Amino acid sequence: MRHCSARDLGRRLLLVLALAGGVGVSPCRRAAAEISDTRRTPIVTAVQRARPAIVNIHGEKLVDATDPRDARTADGKRKVNGMGTGVILDERGYIITNHHVVDGVKKIIVTTAARETFVARLVSRDPATDLAIIKIDADHDLQVIAIGTSGDLMPGETVIAVGNAYGYEHTVTRGIISALHRSVQVSDAQQYEDLIQTDASINPGNSGGPLLNIDGEMIGINVAVRAGAQGIGFAIPTDKVLTVAADLLSTRRVERTWHGVQAHTTESGDVEVLALDEASPASDSGLQAGDVITSIGGMPVARAIDIERAFLGREAGEPVDVSVRRRQQPMTVKLALAKTDGDPAWDMLGLKLEPQSAKQFQQHRTHYRGGLTVTDVRTDSPAARQGIRRGDVLVGMHVWETVTMENVTYILARPDFPQLDPLKFYILRGSETLYGHLNVSQRTAAQAR
């Protein structure tokens, strides 16, 4: 028999007197443990599993003031409040979100599901894929999202979107996968390839948040909606997200250290060494192509991104145990990170580059979003052989824009960089846009490391 307090019984009596139709009212609130299995659906369970690893992002940014009635800054900008969502990838506070969510935001405010608020810093970004890594510093480990795969998705299967829709934090919507492998052009500067299409409601503020499967695993990052259409939203597939995130979280980009392991996640779920960079710490450690990495420093390795997570925070020269399976036999090698020195753009391309302010770049009157001024060109370098001059503005290489030095470092440090040789580049010279190809040999790249 359930016992209720006198106060509960009094409330029940008042409700009975007020309800002409005799609607049944529970005499006291059910405890959470008493919620029926019928109500605790797979969707509820999935959301409860993922929610602690999802954060809300707020920030103020400056945009061009197009309406003369808008309040504006001295340089013609107006302030807008941006919002978005992020997903915790590492318990130390590394979060993935969309680049457009944090682009231009001076103070990135992150609120967790536990209502803790932090000021985040931008760690790295890739405008071409519209992904970025930010970091918050908590005094405890944070819950990490459960990650699924986008390689076995089925049109028609149930999916769930969670995000900061219109500023309403941790909003949950559900739907199905409508289609796969969609290409979407959202502006002159941004096109997405190979997206997941869903009819789960995705609204402004959902950007950067997870698309979940019915098991509560992240299978995509919500990124765009079809303007003027209901029930058409898009997400970047998780497998692509993790590939980009591994580059964005690489020790080379984040901490200027280097291991030299090139790995991928196989169809069977193993993290296999594809190749080792020449004269790298990895090649010196005794690792071999074909080795399956199972743990690094005691941290289990389930995906290629875990290699970067395991090495983050390690000092250069500190030996770390790397456990592998080689021809089905377990073994352990020791690998010590090395410091990266020098300027990759100078060493590999022969270019000294400096960022341009937004105000400086506006004078070029071009559709590009930014660029780097060439301040010096090394004699007999790849850049010199292509006729690049001081004063030129580098605006892109291959398929990526070069707005910041970080963009250039990202391109030159990519594991597939040798496959990009010769490297296509785009520069502004006066009122002209010019392009050419930089022949950067693998030997030159190895020397730069």
pLDDT tens column, 31-66: 656 888 889 999 999 999 999 999 999 988 766 555
Q: Which residues of the chain have pLDDT under 50?
A: 1-3, 6, 9-10, 13-25, 27, 69-73, 442-449
- CA distances from residue 147 to 152, 258, 394 in whole angstroms, order as listed: 13, 26, 37
Q: Are 112 and 79 contacting, i.e. CB atoms less than 8 angstroms apart?
A: no
Number of Cβ within 10 Å of residue 51's Cβ equals 17
pLDDT tens column, 286-335: 999 999 999 999 999 999 999 999 999 999 999 999 999 999 999 999 99
Residues ≥6 apart with Cβ < 8 Å to 365: none
Tell me the whole-structure pTM to 2 decimals.
0.72
Beta bridge partners of 162: 172
d(CA 397, CA 413): 13
SS3 content of the chain, % helix, strand, coil (to 5): 20, 40, 40
- CA distances from residue 198 to 22, 158, 283, 301, 303 in whole angstroms, order as listed: 43, 9, 44, 31, 26
In this prediction, residue 444 carries a pLDDT of: 43
In this prediction, residue 79 carries a pLDDT of: 63
In this prediction, residue 443 carries a pLDDT of: 37
The three-state (H, E, C) secondary structure of 208-236, written as one string? CCEEEECCCCEEEEEEEECCCCCCCEEEE
In this prediction, residue 17 carries a pLDDT of: 37
In this prediction, residue 15 carries a pLDDT of: 42
In this prediction, residue 50 carries a pLDDT of: 97
Which are the catalytic amino acids? 100, 130, 207
CA atoms within 13 A on the CB side of 176: 6
Which DSSP state fits 147?
Answer: B
Residues ≥6 apart with Cβ < 8 Å to 351: 345, 374, 376, 377, 378, 381, 383, 388, 394
- CA distances from residue 375 to 342, 352, 378, 392 in whole angstroms, order as listed: 17, 5, 10, 8
Q: Are 302 and 330 contacting, i.e. CB atoms less than 8 angstroms apart?
A: no
